[in-house]
Chains A and B, each alone.
Chain A
Amino acid sequence: MIFNELTFFALFLAPCVALFHLARRLSPGRGAQLRPWLLAGFGAAFFAYYGYHHFGGVVGVAAILVFVAELVVSRWYKKGSRLCLLGIIQAVAILVVFKYSSFFSGVLGDVVQGLGLERTGSLPKLIVPLGLSFFTFEFIHVAADVHSGKLERPPLDRYAAFVFFFPTMVAGPIKRYQDFGPQLDAARFDPGLFSRGITRILSGLFKKHVLSDTFTLWSDRLAGDLVMTATPVEILGWVLAYGMKIYFDFSGYSDIAIGSAYLFGIHVPENFDWPYTSPNIREFWRRWHISLGRWIFDYVYAPLGGSRGGEVRTSFNLLAAFAISGLWHGAAYNFVLWGLWHGACLVVHRLFSRWPGRPTGRTWRVFSIVLTFLAVTFGWALFCMDMSQFSRAMSRVIGGLS
């Protein structure tokens, strides 16, 4: 969807790239001033077009008001200002209302029922605006960094280009203004980078349609009743297939986003660096969805206190940060458990890495890569199945092994 539609290339990417480079050639002075507005204009049109077609029709288009509100509020951002905090609250509130109101009301209902009272009803699921989970994180980054003095308030045209930069608007990589802003002036047509951009887009499409969709043939079996009759080995194979599917799907998506940015002469953050070869879970999170991992570290884990407290406090911070990361991936219990599983693995790794007698050497490294891969794979079982399906699969696996 979107990145594998012809309209993305014909209506948005190709014309915007051409005009972006032509603007500077035709008028070096004014062209440079026009570029941010060009990106913002195409980004707004992109949001409206795909919002209308895939994300709720007119309501999906109206969600563009969220960007307008952010651009207006951001004009008052300055170091130490409470309006920065208002900007953060605004972004979090938008995310919670659209994505989590139904889930949280369901959780409340579960709690009330657990207390023996009459269950309260759940709120209906709302239409989630295109790219909500990603653009709100970029809003929070800018508000928090201006508040702490790490970033000067971006000029309106550049900030509009940043938030509306359509190659990364839908699903990242989550950018930082400090990296993106200066590139708006410096970006120029670079044949080598342009060629790499095309290669990257094509290889991203290859990963999605040839590799990921092939693994889907196996991983999809986890969703149905086949789980009830499958052997433990079959279930393990399907979960492994899911792990490969999600890797090729999201890294393919990221390749297209990064490659599209290359066409403008702009570098956006990398998202993957051979994550399945990581020797421990900490390393895994430095190589898997890198831009999200850094965001969670900077804007959730560090503000909670990071590793500055004792072991107990640090462990709590890790679990809390990864529970939030899990919830960000989806409004359901299984995603929270997935996050907690990774948080718990990180706590165990942290304790283990401080043990003076821990093994080392080449054999241990190979073993630790396999162990990390298995831990991540178990996590995918939580990620890809809801709680009832996960329970059914686990009962089959445990039953089959015993």
Chain B
Amino acid sequence: MSRLAALFEILGGARPLPARPERSSVAALAQGVYWVLLLLLTLSFMGRSAKFIYIDF
């Protein structure tokens, strides 16, 4: 369970990637693809609600 939690935290940016001596261009490309995927998914679901609950109401 803790490994799964750690994976989600890395995917969410809450936890840094495990230290590597050198970041490869493949890793950078994968990161870019991941960002685009997140953005596209978000954009495709946007428009149902704009309000965040905890902003004073």
Residues of A within 8 A of B (CB): 1-5, 55, 99, 128-133, 170-172, 192, 195-203, 205-206, 208-210, 212-214, 216, 245-246, 249-250, 252-253, 255, 258-259, 262, 270, 274, 330
Q: Given contacts A202-B13, A270-B14, list 17 more A-B pairs with CB under 8 A.
A: A1-B51, A1-B52, A1-B55, A99-B56, A130-B56, A171-B52, A171-B56, A199-B11, A199-B31, A202-B35, A210-B41, A212-B49, A246-B53, A249-B54, A250-B54, A252-B52, A255-B14
Contacts of B11 in A (CB 8 A): 199, 203
Given A170-B55, A202-B39, A253-B54: A216 and B48 interface contact (C-beta under 8 Å):
yes
In angstroms, Cα B2 to Cα A179, docked, is 28
Q: Which label, helix, strand, loop or mixed, suits the secondary structure of the A interface?
A: helix
In angstroms, Cα B54 to Cα A212, docked, is 13
Q: Judge whether B24 is part of the interface by a CB distance below 8 angstroms.
A: no
Which among A133, A197, A253 is the interface contact of B52 at CB below 8 angstroms? A253
Can you list 6 residue pairs at the A/B interface with Cβ under 8 Å? A198-B35, A199-B31, A200-B12, A201-B13, A249-B54, A253-B54
Whether the Cβ atoms of A250 and B53 lie closer than 8 Å is yes
Contacts of A216 in B (CB 8 A): 48-49
Given A199-B13, A203-B11: A132 and B42 interface contact (C-beta under 8 Å):
no
Whether the Cβ atoms of A128 and B54 lie closer than 8 Å is no
Of A208, A212, A253, most B-chain CB atoms within 10 Å: A208
Chain B interface size band reads 20 to 34
In angstroms, Cα B39 to Cα A99, docked, is 36
Whether the Cβ atoms of B56 and A200 lie closer than 8 Å is no
Q: How far is the CB of A365 from chain B (nearest CB, A)?
A: 12
In the A-B complex, list the 8 residue pairs whose CB atoms are closest, starting with the nearest: A199-B13, A200-B13, A202-B38, A203-B12, A213-B48, A196-B13, A171-B54, A210-B45
Q: Judge whether B46 is part of the interface by a CB distance below 8 angstroms.
A: yes
Residues of B within 8 A of A (CB): 5, 11-14, 16, 31, 34-35, 38-39, 41-42, 45-46, 48-57
Q: Which residue of A lies closest to B46 (CB)?
A: A209
Given A209-B45, A210-B45: A197 and B13 interface contact (C-beta under 8 Å):
yes
In angstroms, Cα B17 to Cα A214, docked, is 29
Which among B31, B45, B53 is the interface contact of A195 at CB below 8 angstroms? B31
Q: Which residue of A lies closest to B19 (CB)?
A: A192
Q: How far is the CB of B17 from chain A (nearest CB, A)?
A: 8
Q: Which residue of B lies closest to A193 (CB)?
A: B16
In angstroms, Cα B50 to Cα A208, docked, is 9
Of A130, A200, A202, most B-chain CB atoms within 10 Å: A202
